[in-house]
Amino acid sequence: MDQLEEKTINTKHIYKGAIIDVTVDDVQLPNGEQSKRELVKHPGAVAVIALTDDNKLLMVKQYRKPMESSSIEIPAGKLEEGEEPILTARRELEEETGYTTDQLHYITSFYSSPGFSDEYLHLYWTDQVTKLEIRPDLDEDEFVELYEADIAQIDEWIKKKEIQDLKTLFAVQYLKLNK
């Protein structure tokens, strides 16, 4: 038994949305006291490190409302119910970049922000991409710009804070250490 475990006493469902659910849990702390935990329930996500033949990283720029600005990121998206992460990764790569692959390699999975969310993100990479003749439609509320960038350009974007999300920073570090 984990000596740091917080036992859930009660769960109050606050919000049920299309992407997330929000709950407030009453918990018993390891010292016997009680507290509240606000939790975001998420179905999970994938992200793809995709390199072109000329060793450029496929990236997308999109507006992120919580940041109130645009962000340059690696392709990523939410798992659909019952969908295998590798299938989600291929779908998101195709939708967001117009490229496809049948050579996705699993890297790792991690919690993106475990202090308040259970989102579990699966990360894949490929250096075998092919441009699709017809790009699949994006979601109706999704607008992205495609970029193909080398490490020098990516480092500039990081310095300018145009790249600030964890999955993309992790992906860049992974590339620097492994390529």
Q: Which residues are known catalytic residues? A: 140
User: Could you tell me which residues come within 8 angstroms of residue 147 by beta carbon, excluding any fewer than 6 positions away?
Assistant: 58, 59, 60, 61, 72
Distances (CA, A) of 157 to 47, 91, 98, 115, 132: 19, 26, 22, 27, 27
- Alpha-carbon distance of 57 to 112, in angstroms, equals 21
Three-state DSSP at 101 gives: coil
Residue of 132, 171, 172, 137 whose CA lies nearest to 152: 172
| H or E segment to which residue 46 belongs | strand 45-50
- Greatest CA span in the chain, whole angstroms? 61
CA dihedral 159, 163, 164, 167 (to 10 degrees): -130
